Structure 1
Amino acid sequence: MAKDKFPVTPAIRMLKQHQVEFTGHLYPYEEKGGTAVSSQELGVDEHAVIKTLVMEDDGRQPLIVLMHGDRQVSTKELARLIGCKSVSPCTPQVADKHSGYQVGGTSPFGTRKAMPVYLEQTIAALPRIYINGGKRGFLVGIDPQEVIRLLQPTLVKVAI
């Protein structure tokens, strides 16, 4: 991996600091294209492209949910699992403030604010995932076990 080829984001700094092996993948970012566009650009299954979603509970406490690109989060089930009344997505401005990243380029690594992380349990069984590297149009290919090692997420079953 050439040092000057990929953006150096807080996420990349964290991965390097923890000696995580990863591959960087730049692609032309498309506004509101989501994982359908990134998976097509990278030539990988959308199920292996992982969304980093910044949400908040009914007490307005932020949290991160990592979900397959081709699935949605059952916020009702997530709220039940974590013991609160409701969970909802943050507005882009609030998500940016909590994560330190711009929506569309949010990485779960190196966030501005420490937040609990919830990982859809079926992600852990994949051989390799593609997750945002901290900039729009930039994903990193990584072993999901490394994500678990670094972020120590709570595994949940909330995909719909």
Structure 2
Amino acid sequence: MTSAPETPETPETPATRALAASGIEFEVTAHGPVRSLEEAAEARGLEPRQILKTLVVRRGEDDFLFVLVPGDRQISWPKLREHLGVSRLSMPDKDTARDVTGYERGTITPFGSSPSPAGTPWPVIADALIVSREGPVSIGGGAHGVAASVHPAQLVEVLEATVADVTEPA
């Protein structure tokens, strides 16, 4: 995989710029609007399990993190709370998620997102299944219908993600 140059079909976004700057190998896919994870997988030529959902989770006031979840899975709240050593977690509403990441729901990605108030990237937790499965994974590209296919191990490394079992079947 190589970074794709900007074309009319592959718009440049903060996410694609951050991907390029990271040095990770990636391939941008741009497609029209989709209404479901299954449609997104089909448009990208991948299986639903290869599509990563980037979810924003709130630990506390101004304390957020990203959780990368395979498309065929969902967060297991008990597992995530145990992993983080907290008794309470929540998901922000769409406006708060946009305010803290710089992206609308459906386009959120750790790449190019707004930094924390301290100016550092948000922590990332990647579900363990992401790195145990074969083939590329697809992560949001920062705009509707834009995604990047990457190697899971490179993704985890460049994001300095913590790998943990934090999901369950959808």
Q: TM-score scaled by structure 1?
A: 0.91
Question: In 2, distance between residues paired with 1:103 and 1:142?
Answer: 21
How many percent of aligned residue pairs carry the same amino acid?
Answer: 27
Secondary structure (helix, strand or coil) at the match of 2:49 reads: helix
Residue 122 of structure 1 pairs with residue 160 of structure 2: no
Letter of the structure 2 residue corresponding to residue 140 of structure 1: A
Answer whether contact 2:103 2:142 (CA < 8 A) is retained: yes
Please state how far the C-alpha of 1:117 moved relative to its aligned partner. Answer: 0.5
Question: In 2, distance between residues paired with 1:34 and 1:143?
Answer: 23
**1:95-145 superposed Cα distances (whole Å, 9 cap, x missing partner):** 111111111111111110221110001101232101101111111111112
Answer whether contact 2:136 2:151 (CA < 8 A) is retained: yes
Letter of the structure 1 residue corresponding to residue 90 of structure 2: S
**1:85 matched residue in structure 2:** 87
In structure 2, the gaps of 5 or more residues are: 116-120
**1:159 matched residue in structure 2:** 167
1:66-77 alignment, distance < 5 Å: 66-77=68-79
**1:26 matched residue in structure 2:** 30
Answer whether contact 1:71 1:159 (CA < 8 A) is retained: yes
Question: In 2, distance between residues paired with 1:106 and 1:59?
Answer: 20
Please state how far the C-alpha of 1:60 moved relative to its aligned partner. Answer: 5.3
In structure 1, the gaps of 5 or more residues are: none
Secondary structure (helix, strand or coil) at the match of 1:104 reads: coil
**1:9 matched residue in structure 2:** 13
Secondary structure (helix, strand or coil) at the match of 2:142 reads: strand
Secondary structure (helix, strand or coil) at the match of 1:134 reads: coil
CA RMSD of aligned residues (A): 1.5
Secondary structure (helix, strand or coil) at the match of 2:163 reads: strand
**1:106 matched residue in structure 2:** 108
**1:56 matched residue in structure 2:** 58
Question: In 2, distance between residues paired with 1:60 and 1:18?
Answer: 26
Answer whether contact 2:24 2:158 (CA < 8 A) is retained: no
Count of aligned positions: 158
Distance 1:122 1:97, change over 3 A: same
Residue range with higher mean Cα deviation, 102-111 or 17-26: 17-26
Please state how far the C-alpha of 1:53 moved relative to its aligned partner. Answer: 0.4
